[in-house]
Amino acid sequence: MKDVFARLGADFFSTILFIAIYLTTDNVLLATAVAIAGAIAQVIYSRIKGKELGYMTWASLGLVIVLGSATLLTHDPRFVLAKPAIGHFAIGVIMLKRGWMLRYMPSIVTQTIPEHVTFAGYAWAALCFILAAGTIGIAMTGDMKLWTFYVTVVLVGAKIAAFAIQYVAFRILVGGRLRAAAQQA
């Protein structure tokens, strides 16, 4: 589970950095510049460490640079505010790939209930699409306080709730299958 949170933290590093700087300084342009620098530094650090970078990392870097630059050039925060929505939409599309979640699951889950893991992957894709639509709606208002609340509370809360539901459901399903197998043996 620690590995999953580490991967999610890495995927959303520039957004987390942006929010932290914005909340500290109340300066969108500074937060944007730091987020761009942080995303570039993250990729450089990963390359130095010899880590393989997936296409989501490169896509995220591209979005941070393009949308962040547009924000810096126009002084319009809506560009950078849209970045999490684009990221969620892209992640949702990737999550439509059958079995994407299997690499994140413990072996007992993948060996016992792989069909449920696949269904849960599609549910996560739907959640990402819904969250992306909400993020775009909030970003279009340009209200930084509302956007910050949405990104830090709603986006995170929805994912934590979905994770908790999935965790409990998988424990029940795995336990039931293991008990059934033990009774048959």
pLDDT in tens, 80-129: 888 889 888 988 998 999 888 888 888 888 888 888 888 999 999 999 99
Q: Is the pLDDT of residue 141 over 70?
A: yes
Residues whose CB falls within 8 Å of the CB of residue 172, separated by 6 or more in sequence, listed in order: none
Please state, in angstroms and rounded to a whole number, the distance separating the CA atoms of residues 96 and 77: 30
Average pLDDT over residues 121-139: 95
The predicted pLDDT at position 36 comes to 94
Q: Is the pLDDT of residue 142 over 90?
A: no
| pLDDT tens sequence across 2-35 | 666 676 677 778 888 988 999 899 899 999 999 9
CB atoms within 10 A of CB 75: 9
Q: What is the mean pLDDT of residues 140-150?
A: 89
State residue 163's pLDDT score. 93
Q: What is the overall mean pLDDT for the chain?
A: 88
Nearest-10 Cα torsion for 44, 85, 151, 4? -50
What is the model's pLDDT at position 164? 95
- The answer to whether 135 and 85 have CB atoms below 8 angstroms apart is yes
Residue 1: the pLDDT is: 57
Percentage of the chain modeled with pLDDT above 90: 46
> How far apart, in whole angstroms, are the C-alpha atoms of residue 29 and residue 106?
42
The owner of tokens 């999953």 is: 4
Q: Give the C-alpha separation, 1 to 137, whole Å.
A: 32
* CB-CB contact of 113 with 177 (8 Å): yes
Q: In the prediction, which pLDDT does 136 show?
A: 95
Report the pLDDT value the prediction gives residue 89, as an integer from 0 to 100.
Answer: 92
- Among 121, 63, 111, 50, which Cα is nearest to 90's? 63
43, burial (CB in 10 Å: exposed 0-12, middle 13-18, buried 19+): middle
pLDDT score, position 4:
64
pLDDT digits (tens, 9 = 90+) for 31-88: 999 999 999 999 999 889 888 877 777 877 888 899 999 999 999 888 888 888 988 8
- Region 148-161: mean pLDDT is 92
Contact 112, 128 (CB under 8 A): no
Taking CA atoms, 139 is separated from 30, 50, 89, 113, 143, in Å, by 18, 36, 14, 39, 7
